[in-house]
Structure 1
Amino acid sequence: MRVGVLSDIHANRVALDAVFDDMPDVDAVVCAGDVVGYNPWPAECVAALRERDVPTVMGNHDRTVATGASFHGNGMASAGVTHAKRDLSDAQAEWVRGLPRERVLFDGRLKVVHDHPTRRDHYTYPEQFSSDLLDGEDVLVLGHTHVQAHEEFPDGVVLNPGSVGQPRDRDPRAAYALVEFAESGVSVEERRVAYDIGAVADAVRDAGLPEATASRLRDGR
C-alpha cells in the first residue's frame, strides 16, 4: 500500500495543485493539518481535501479558525486566519471544526498528529526525532515545523513530509512524502515539486495579505 502524505498546506492552492499533479498513483492520501492560514485560498484547499476524502488532523491555524481566536504577535498568521474566517463557507468551517487532534489509520500502522504526540503546539524538529515518539505504529507523521525530514528506528519511522504551502527549510518547492507499506517493512520517499510562486505572491497582494507572506515563499523560510 502506498500513501501520499501532506502537511501545512496553508491555503496555497497553487502549491497543492502542483503536489497532486506530481503525486504518483497512491492508495490513500493523509494530511497532518494546517490546511488554512497565511495564503489566499483556504476555501479551495479545504474543498480539495474534502473532495478527495483525505483523512486530516487539526493544526494550530485550523484550530484558531475553528475556535474564533486570533494569533498574538504574528501579523502574517493573524491576517491569514482572519482571511480564512471570511472565506470559508459554513460547511467548510464546520469541517475544520470537526478535525481531530490525531488519527490512527491503516490497522494502526500510521498515526498522524500535527505537532507532537503528547505536547500540543510543540515544534518537533528533526533533531528531536526519536523512537520515544512512537507508540506502536509503524509510521508517525508530524507537521508544524515546515521542515521535511524522516528518520528510521528499529521500531518505526518518524516523518515530517514538510510543508506544501510554506516550506521553511530553505527549499521553496512544495514538499510532500510517499510512504510504502509492504510485508518486508516500510519505506519513505521525500518529494519536492516546483510551482508558480510568483502567481501566489501576486494573489497574496491582491487579497490584501501581508507582503512578508509573499516574500518568504521565494526563500523557503
Structure 2
Amino acid sequence: MKIAILADLHGNADALRALPEDADDVWVLGDLVNYGPEPGAVVAGLRARASVIVRGNHDAAVATPGDAAWKPRWRETAEATRRFTASVLPPEDLAYLGGLPLQARVTRGGATFHLVHATPSDPLYGHHAPGAPGWEAELRGTGADVLLVGHSHVPFIQPVGRAVVANPGSLGQPRNGDPRASYLLWEDGRLTLRTYAYPVETTVRKLQALAFPRAVETDLVALLRTGRP
C-alpha cells in the first residue's frame, strides 16, 4: 500500500492538483488553508481524497479568529490572508476546519502512526528543529512506530531507535530553499521524501489578482518562487 502524507498546503490548489496519483490513500497533517489563493478548492480536494486529516494552527485561526497566535515576522501576512480566507470559505467549510481533530492514530501494515500538525505536547504551535533531541521524548510519549508532523515547512526523516519522526515539508509553501512541492510516501514499510514541480507562476498570478497589500504580496510571491522565508 502507498500512502501520500501531506502537510501545509496553505490554499495552494495548483500544488495539490499536480500531486502524483499513484498513492492508495492520502493523509494530511494540517494547515490546509491560509496564505494561498484557493482555500476552497484545497478543502474540497482533500475531503475527496484524504482518509485522515488533522487540524493545523492556520485552520484553527481561520475557523476561530481568537485562536491566532502569529509570530511577529508573519503577523501582517498571516492576518491579511486569514481575513481573505475566512471571507471566501462557506460556513460549512469553516465548521469543518474547526472540527478537525488535533491528533490522530492510525495502524497500517503492522505499524502504528501518530499524526499531529506540530508536536504531540503542543499540537498547534510546538516546534523542535530537525534532529533535535526533543523529538525523542515526543515520540516516546505517543508509543507509536512513526510520528508524523508538519508545521515547520522543512522536510526531514529522523530515526529514533527503532521508530522514526518524519515531516513531509510543505506541499503549498516550502521553506527549505526548494520551491518544489514536498511530501512523504509510505510504501512497503518504508518512508521516502518526494518532491515535484508544479506551475508556481500560475499560483503567483492568482495571488496578485487578489490585491493584497504590497508587503503581503511580496512575502507570499517570494516564498513561492524561492522556497525561502
TM-score by length of 1: 0.90
Q: Please list, as runs of the form range in 1=range in 2, the aligned pairs for 1:37-116 lying within 5 A after superposition.
A: 37-69=34-66, 70=68, 73=72, 74-106=75-107, 109-116=112-119
Q: CA deviation at 1:23?
A: 4.1
Matched, 1:203 2:210: no
Task: Identify which of 133, 139, 142 aligns with 2:138.
Answer: 133
SS at match of 1:175: strand
Kindly provide the CA deviation profile for residues 53-88 of structure 1, in whole angstroms up to 9, marking residues without a partner as x.
Answer: 431111110010111235554111111211110111
Kindly provide the CA deviation profile for residues 147-200 of structure 1, in whole angstroms up to 9, marking residues without a partner as x.
Answer: 0111123331101001001000000000011012x5xxx311100011111111
* Uncovered stretches (5+) of structure 2, i.e. residues with no partner: none
Please give the alpha-carbon distance, in whole angstroms, between the structure 2 residues aligned to 1:29 and 1:195: 19
Please give the alpha-carbon distance, in whole angstroms, between the structure 2 residues aligned to 1:99 and 1:46: 12
Moved more, 153-162 or 137-146: 153-162
User: Is residue 71–residue 78 contact of structure 1 (8 Å, CA) maintained in 2?
Assistant: no
Structure-2 residue corresponding to 1:6: 6
User: Is residue 201–residue 215 contact of structure 1 (8 Å, CA) maintained in 2?
Assistant: no
Please give the alpha-carbon distance, in whole angstroms, between the structure 2 residues aligned to 1:133 and 1:71: 22
SS at match of 1:109: strand
Distance 1:53 1:149, change over 3 A: closer
User: Is residue 173–residue 192 contact of structure 1 (8 Å, CA) maintained in 2?
Assistant: yes
Structure-1 residue corresponding to 2:33: 36
* Percent identical residues: 34
Please give the alpha-carbon distance, in whole angstroms, between the structure 2 residues aligned to 1:200 and 1:85: 19
Structure-2 residue corresponding to 1:179: 186
Structure-2 residue corresponding to 1:123: 127
SS at match of 1:35: coil
After TM superposition, the runs of 4+ consecutive aligned structure 1 residues lying more than 4 A away are none
Please give the alpha-carbon distance, in whole angstroms, between the structure 2 residues aligned to 1:161 and 1:196: 20
Structure-2 residue corresponding to 1:193: 196
Please give the alpha-carbon distance, in whole angstroms, between the structure 1 residues aligned to 2:51 and 2:208: 30
Matched, 1:154 2:161: yes
User: Is residue 106–residue 112 contact of structure 2 (8 Å, CA) maintained in 1?
Assistant: yes
User: Is residue 131–residue 158 contact of structure 2 (8 Å, CA) maintained in 1?
Assistant: no
TM-score by length of 2: 0.87
Please give the alpha-carbon distance, in whole angstroms, between the structure 1 residues aligned to 2:50 and 2:24: 12
Q: AA paired with 1:59?
A: G
Q: AA paired with 1:91?
A: E
Supply the RMSD in Å over aligned alpha carbons.
1.7
Q: How many residues align?
A: 214
Please give the alpha-carbon distance, in whole angstroms, between the structure 1 residues aligned to 2:21 and 2:112: 21
User: Is residue 27–residue 50 contact of structure 2 (8 Å, CA) maintained in 1?
Assistant: no
Q: AA paired with 2:173?
A: Q
Moved more, 104-113 or 127-136: 127-136
